[in-house]
A and B are shown apart, each in its own frame.
Chain A
Amino acid sequence: MTRRIVVYAILTVACLISIVPFAITFLASLKTMPEIVQGVLSWPASPNWGNYSQAWRQGNFSQFFYNSTVVAIAVVVPSVFLSALTGYAFSRFQFRGSNVIFAYLLLGLVVPLQAMVVPLFYLMRELHLLDSLWALILPQVALSLSFGTLLMRQAFNAVPRDIVEASVLDGASSWQTLWQVMFPLSRPLIGTLGLLFFIWTWNEFLLPLVVNIDPDYQTLPVGLLYFQQRWTSNIPLTAAGATIIFIPLIAIFLLFQRQLIEGLTEGALKG
């Protein structure tokens, strides 16, 4: 019984260490500057929600939210689609060079973005795509394919052979088998994959920082950096900006907690 209490105490402390910085930031976002000075845990006389509307306007967050959302969707959907195709090719068919091509596609897991981000800038310049959302979407779709192929191949391998065979007997083409049988059967894993792609894209910082200079084409992490650089001394406003960024992420996390945690840890185990 005492052990139980000790374990609960340890977990509570660990949990608080993770959460309290966010909670304190949220608290600061509701204060005025004089109230910040009064003390950390003091409750503001009346919550100063005005910080949020000010941060939202000053930080141009509506633009960043729009960009982040468009980029995330435009990365996740084609990434899942293309990964399903490549994963299916490796799972379903035996063909010449399959091992070599598979290894080639996994290259993206070992080469860090840092090594290719600068050439990507020049590539986008050649393609006249600098300062556009395309400059963020195309490389991230390509980068997603390594992990996506690995995961989709595994997902399709897990589909029982008889189901595939039955579908072939029904006269389904390989294309129909993929979309009418394999894909729906792998839905849980595909959901996790989509979530991982989403969170990786949403949080990406280096790529937009390098390829896009015009703030109109930046995503939230870079937007937050600009915002902080501009308003360093205004703590309530910076805190409101930070809260604007982490509240949606916490909401997504709470909704898809299990898949996200499992995906991110299992994903690491595979990589």
Chain B
Amino acid sequence: MQPRSPDLGTFGEGRAGVARPSPSRGSRAGSPWLPYLYLLPGLLVFTLFVVLPVIAAIAISLTAWNGISWDTATFVGIDNYLDAFRDDRFWTAFKHNIYLIPWYVILPIILGLAPAAFVHRMKLRGSRLFQAGIFLPYIMPGVLIGVVWRWMLNPVFGPINTTLKDWGFHPPTWLGDFTWALPTIGFIGAWAAYGFCYVVFVAGMQKIPTDLYDAARLDGANGWQEFRAVTLPGLRRELAVVLAVNLINAMRAFDVVKATTDGGPGDSTNVLALYMMNNLGGNRAGFAIAIAIMLAVITLAQSLIVLRLFGDSDD
């Protein structure tokens, strides 16, 4: 144990005059290598299993390779990317991802924002319980969501179609129908995401200072005007985040599609991630990975644009 002498009590940046090499709050604790020692294990694991695969992905995407033996890989430059641009099925899958955006992004935002706005500034008994219920689908694995909705939408026995038939409608087969399959997947995506949006918005609204509302009220604003003038601008950051997260989910959609339609019927619900997976066989590893890289670039660009548009100032 070291003696607690008073002149030791004020170490740190301010008092460098003491005979102690302590320019920062850390280096006094030991050798200058210490921080690197703390980083070493994490950096090793991260480099080996995240960075290396990313570099390998870029490299493989520039080759024609059967995916089996390394020496069969031949460098082809950006041919795989050009092939993708010339490939109708690639564009079909891409269009389907774009089509999912209103469903995965806009719809859950509206469905989450509306109840959040009503709940806002009301003391409600059990609001936490409601919140938990609404949030529940968001913690479930995509495959499970797919399995549950496949049963809900089963054309013959499913609860939705039996009910609709009881009411005299002639519902489509939903996931089995060329026209309806993709919007149905969009609907499932919106269902899975709106609880998340709701909770983010409720939390964001609680951070808006109440005097802004008092001021709006003094100006004679009604509920809607108050929402437009105070609540919505106050949710800028939350909107940016929800937009970015939902956009990523729309572009990367995979789990739910795999478990409901697997891209069918025909190619009517094929999406980029699924198309990538289905190209892994055969001679097309490079091509598949090129799609994955484009997917990464698209989602990254989207996130940057969203964050830029919403001018995220703090941290």
Chain B residues within 8 Å of A98, by CB: 35
B297 nearest in chain A by CB position = A115
A173 within 8 A of B: yes
Q: Is B89 part of the contact surface with A, judged by Cβ < 8 Å?
A: no
B306 at the interface (CB under 8 A from A): no
Q: Are A253 and B136 in contact (CB-based, < 8 A)? A: yes
Q: Is the CB of B26 within 8 A of A169?
A: no
Q: Are A235 and B151 in contact (CB under 8 A)?
A: yes
Chain B residues in 8 Å Cβ range of A224: 141, 143-144, 147, 259
- Where chain A touches its partner, the secondary structure class is helix
Given contacts A114-B296, A245-B144, A269-B241, contact A169 B9 (CB under 8 A): yes
- Smallest CB gap from A33: residue in B: B157
Set of chain A residues within 8 Å of B1, measured between Cβ atoms: 170-171
Cβ contact within 8 Å between A238 and B151: yes
Expressed in whole angstroms, the Cα–Cα distance for A81 and B45 within the complex equals: 13
Tell me if B29 and A174 are in contact (CB < 8 A): yes
Judged by a CB distance under 8 angstroms, whether A4 is at the interface is: yes
Instruction: Confirm or deny: A56 has a beta carbon within 8 angstroms of a beta carbon on chain B.
Output: no
Query: Shortest CB–CB separation between residue A124 and chain B, in angstroms?
Result: 9
Contact present for B53 and A119 (CB under 8 Å): yes
Q: Which of A24, A168, A246 contacts B152 (CB 8 A)?
A: A24
Query: Is B263's CB within 8 Å of the partner chain A?
Result: no
Does B247 touch A at the CB level, under 8 Å?
A: no
Q: Assess whether B32 is in contact with A105, with CB atoms less than 8 Å apart.
A: no
Does B136 contact A82, Cβ atoms closer than 8 Å? no
In the complex, whether A160 has a CB less than 8 A from a CB of chain B is: no
CA distance A116 to B154 in the complex (A): 35
A10 within 8 A of partner (CB) = yes
Report A132-155 CB contacts with B as 1/0, cut-off 8 Å: 000000110111011001000000
Interface residue A69 (Cβ < 8 Å from any Cβ of B)? no
Which of B38, B57, B130 interacts with A88 by CB under 8 Å?
B38
Interface size on B, residues (CB 8 A): 104
Distance from A259 Cβ to chain B, minimum over Cβ atoms (Å): 12
A230: CB under 8 A from chain B? no
Q: Is residue B289 within 8 Å, beta carbon to beta carbon, of the partner chain?
A: yes
Does B191 reach chain A (CB closer than 8 Å)? yes
Q: Let me know if A70 is at the binding interface, CB within 8 A.
A: no
Residues of chain A contacted by B159 (CB below 8 angstroms): 24, 40-41
User: Which one of B80-88, B96-104, B195-203, B210-218 is at the A interface?
Assistant: B195-203
In the complex, which residues of chain B have a beta carbon less than 8 angstroms from the beta carbon of A28? 151
Note all chain B residues with C-beta closer than 8 A to A184: none
Contact between chains at A265 and B151 (CB < 8 Å)? no
User: Does residue B60 face the partner (Cβ distance < 8 Å to A)?
Assistant: yes
Q: How far is the CA of A36 from the CA of B32 in the complex (A)?
A: 70
What 11 additional pairs, Cβ within 8 angstroms, besides A85-B42, A92-B29? A11-B124, A114-B254, A116-B54, A118-B292, A139-B50, A206-B255, A210-B277, A224-B259, A225-B143, A245-B144, A246-B148
Bound-complex Cα distance A93 to B303 (A): 31
User: From residue B248, how far is it (CB to closest CB) to chain A in Å?
Assistant: 8
- 12 residue pairs A–B, Cβ–Cβ below 8 Å: A22-B136, A24-B151, A85-B38, A94-B24, A95-B26, A114-B296, A116-B56, A119-B54, A143-B50, A209-B258, A235-B151, A250-B136
CA distance A37 to B32 in the complex (A): 73
Interchain CB contact under 8 A, B49 and A89: no
Give the nearest-CB partner of B141 in chain A.
A203
Q: Closest residue to A41 on the B side, CB-wise? A: B159
Please give the residue numbers on chain A whose beta carbons come within 8 Å of chain B beta carbons, in ascending order. Answer: 3-4, 6-8, 10-12, 14-15, 17-19, 21-22, 24-25, 28, 36-37, 39-41, 82-83, 85-86, 88-89, 92-95, 98, 101, 104-105, 107-108, 110-112, 114-120, 122-123, 138-139, 141-143, 145-146, 149, 161, 164-165, 168-171, 173-174, 177, 199, 202-203, 205-206, 209-210, 220-222, 224-225, 228, 235, 238-239, 241-242, 245-246, 249-250, 253-254, 257-258, 260-262, 264-265, 268-269, 271
A114–B195 Cα distance when bound, in Å, is: 25
Give the residue among A114, A123, A222, A235 with the most B Cβ atoms within 10 A: A114
Does B269 lie at the interface of the complex (its beta carbon under 8 Å from any beta carbon of A)?
no
Given contacts A6-B118, A225-B143, contact A105 B38 (CB under 8 A): no
Q: Which residues of A contact B248 (CB under 8 A)?
A: 112
* Given known A242-B144, A245-B141, A268-B200, contact A116–B157 (CB-CB < 8 A): no
Are A111 and B50 in contact, CB atoms less than 8 angstroms apart?
A: yes
B284 to chain A, nearest CB (A): 11
**In the complex, A267→B154 CA distance in Å?**
35
A168 contacts which chain B residues (CB < 8 A)?
11, 28-29
Cβ–Cβ < 8 Å partners of B199 in chain A? 261, 265
> A11-B130, A15-B130, A93-B27 given as contacts; is B50 within 8 A of A228 (CB)?
no
**Quick check: A268 and B11 within 8 Å, CB to CB?**
no
Query: Are A221 and B119 neighbours in the complex by a CB distance under 8 Å?
Result: no
A14 near B60 with CB under 8 A, answer no
